[in-house]
Structure 1
Amino acid sequence: MGFSKNPVGNQQECLNIEGPIIVGAGPSGLAVSACLKENGVPSLILERSNCLASLWQQRSYNRLKLHLPKQFCELPLFGFPENYPKYPSKHQFISYLESYAKHFNIEPLFNQVVEKAEYDHSVGIWRVRTQDCEYISRWLIVATGENAEPFTPEIAGIERFNGPVVHTSVYKSGSEFGKQRVLVVGCGNSGMEVSLDLCRYNASPHLVVRNTVHVLPREMFGCSTFAIAMTLLKWLPLRSVDKLLLLAANFTLGNTDRLGLRRPKTGPIELKNATGKTPVLDVGAVSQITSGKIKVMGGVREITRNGAKFIDGQEKEFDSIILATGYKSNVPCWLKGSDFFTEEGLPRTPFPNSWKGEKGLYTVGFTRRGLLGAASDSLKIARDIADQWKKIKGSKIIWNSHIALQI
Structure 2
Amino acid sequence: MSHQTQVVVIGGGQAGLAAGYHLRRLGLDFVLLDAQTTSGGAWQHAWDSLHLFSPAAYSSLPGHLMPPQPGETYPDAQHVVEYLADYEKRYQLPVERPVRVLGAHRDGGLLRVETDSGPWHARAVISATGTWWRPFLPTVPGQATFRGRQLHTVEYRSPADFAGQRVIVVGGGNSGAQIAADLAHDTDLTWVTQRPPRFLADDIDGRALFDVATARRRALDEGRTDTGGVASLGDIVAVPPVREARDRGLLTASPMFSRLHTGGVEWADGTRAEADAIIWCTGFRPALSHLSPLQLRGRRGHIVTEGTQVVDEPRLHLLGYGDWTGPASATLIGIGRPARDAAREIAQFLTAYG
TM range, normalised to the smaller chain?
Answer: 0.7 to 0.9
Instruction: Name the residue aligned to 2:305.
Output: 349
Instruction: Name the residue aligned to 2:140.
Output: 155
> What is the CA-CA distance between 1:157 and the residue it aligns to?
1.5
SS in 1 for 2:105: strand
Instruction: Name the residue aligned to 2:16.
Output: 29
Instruction: Name the residue aligned to 2:222.
Output: none
Relative distance call for 1:340 and 1:160 in structure 2 (3 A) is closer
Relative distance call for 1:296 and 1:312 in structure 2 (3 A) is farther
Relative distance call for 1:361 and 1:127 in structure 2 (3 A) is same
* Contact 2:200–2:234 (8 Å) recurs in 1: no
* Contact 2:8–2:30 (8 Å) recurs in 1: yes
- TM-score, reference length from structure 2: 0.84
> What is the CA-CA distance between 1:271 and the residue it aligns to?
3.5
Q: Which residue, 261, 269, 272 being the options, matches 2:229?
A: 269
Instruction: Name the residue aligned to 1:262.
Output: none
Q: Distance in 2 between matches of 1:102 and 1:340?
A: 36
> What is the CA-CA distance between 1:355 and the residue it aligns to?
4.2
Q: Which residue, 315, 326, 334 being the options, matches 1:373?
A: 334
Q: Which residue, 162, 171, 191 being the options, matches 1:207?
A: 191
* Contact 1:32–1:378 (8 Å) recurs in 2: yes
* Contact 1:298–1:312 (8 Å) recurs in 2: no
Relative distance call for 1:37 and 1:215 in structure 2 (3 A) is same
Which digits, 9 at most, give the CA deviation of each residue in 1:249-302, with x for residues without a partner?
xxxxxxxxxxxxxxxxx9862637xxxx97210234366356443442211211
Q: Distance in 1 between matches of 2:337 and 2:52?
A: 18
**Structure 1: which 5+ residue stretches go unaligned?**
1-12, 239-265, 398-407
Relative distance call for 1:83 and 1:165 in structure 2 (3 A) is closer
* Contact 2:56–2:68 (8 Å) recurs in 1: no
* Contact 1:181–1:205 (8 Å) recurs in 2: yes
Which digits, 9 at most, give the CA deviation of each residue in 1:57-94, with x for residues without a partner?
12x11111111333332111111125664421111111
Instruction: Name the residue aligned to 2:109.
Output: 124
> What is the CA-CA distance between 1:193 and the residue it aligns to?
0.6
SS in 2 for 1:303: strand
Q: Which amino acid aligns with 1:377?
A: P
Please report the RMSD computed on the Cα atoms of aligned residues, expressed in angstroms: 3.0
State whether structure 2 residue 215 is matched by structure 1 residue 227: no
* Contact 1:40–1:386 (8 Å) recurs in 2: no
> What is the CA-CA distance between 1:228 and the residue it aligns to?
8.1
SS in 2 for 1:93: helix
Instruction: Name the residue aligned to 2:286.
Output: 329
Relative distance call for 1:335 and 1:232 in structure 2 (3 A) is closer
Instruction: Name the residue aligned to 2:223.
Output: none
State whether structure 2 residue 150 is matched by structure 1 residue 165: yes
Instruction: Name the residue aligned to 1:196.
Output: 181
Which digits, 9 at most, give the CA deviation of each residue in 1:135-186, with x for residues without a partner?
1110111111244311111122122222211111011110111121111111
Instruction: Name the residue aligned to 1:8.
Output: none
- TM-score, reference length from structure 1: 0.74
* Contact 1:27–1:97 (8 Å) recurs in 2: yes
Count how many residue pairs are aligned between Structure 1 and Structure 2.
337
Sequence identity (%): 24
Instruction: Name the residue aligned to 1:64.
Output: 50
Q: Distance in 2 between matches of 1:23 and 1:364?
A: 10
Instruction: Name the residue aligned to 2:172.
Output: 187
**Structure 2: which 5+ residue stretches go unaligned?**
220-225
Q: Distance in 2 between matches of 1:233 and 1:14?
A: 41
Q: Which amino acid aligns with 2:305?
A: T
> What is the CA-CA distance between 1:49 and the residue it aligns to?
2.4
State whether structure 2 residue 281 is matched by structure 1 residue 300: no
